[in-house]
Amino acid sequence: NAGVMQNPRHLVRRRGQEARLRCSPMKGHSHVYWYRQLPEEGLKFMVYLQKENIIDESGMPKERFSAEFPKEGPSILRIQQVVRGDSAAYFCASSPRTAYNEQFFGPGTRLTVL
């Protein structure tokens, strides 16, 4: 059973470009979470999705950030018009259901904005 997969592992964008980060959850997992890790800080929750639904996006910046988890295919975190402050590691996690189950983390995508 493959683990959580994220791609690309490293992404370089210039200011103003768009960044698309992909996450394929573990087989059988229908819950996906995105976290952001800034330098010298722990991980911060961004958004929680189930298939075709956003359950909790209280950690998402109000502008330029969006997320989806379609019926088919990976979950996508999209950042429009990137700025240098968006440079961070973005981690995806998945779980089979709610009620405080363990979340399984992917290897992360390290975004660098030039």
Partner 1 sequence: AQSVTQLGSHVSVSEGALVLLRCNYSSSVPPYLFWYVQYPNQGLQLLLKYTSAATLVKGINDFEAEFKKSETSFHLTKPSAHMSDAAEYFCAVSETNNRLAFGKGNQVVVIP
Q: Say whether residue 25 binds partner 1 (CB under 8 A).
A: no
User: Residues 11, 13, 48, 113: which binds partner 1 (CB under 8 A)?
Assistant: 48
Site for partner 1 in 58-97 (CB under 8 A): 59, 91, 93, 95
Q: Say whether residue 113 binds partner 1 (CB under 8 A).
A: no
Task: Choose the binding region for partner 1 from 18-26, 54-62, 63-71, 77-85 (rule: CB under 8 A).
Answer: 54-62
How many residues are present in the chain?
114
CA neighbor of 25 nearest in space, from 111, 106, 110, 113:
106
CA 40 to chain centre: 19
Q: How far apart are CA 96 and CA 109, in angstroms?
A: 22
Q: Say whether residue 53 binds partner 1 (CB under 8 A).
A: no
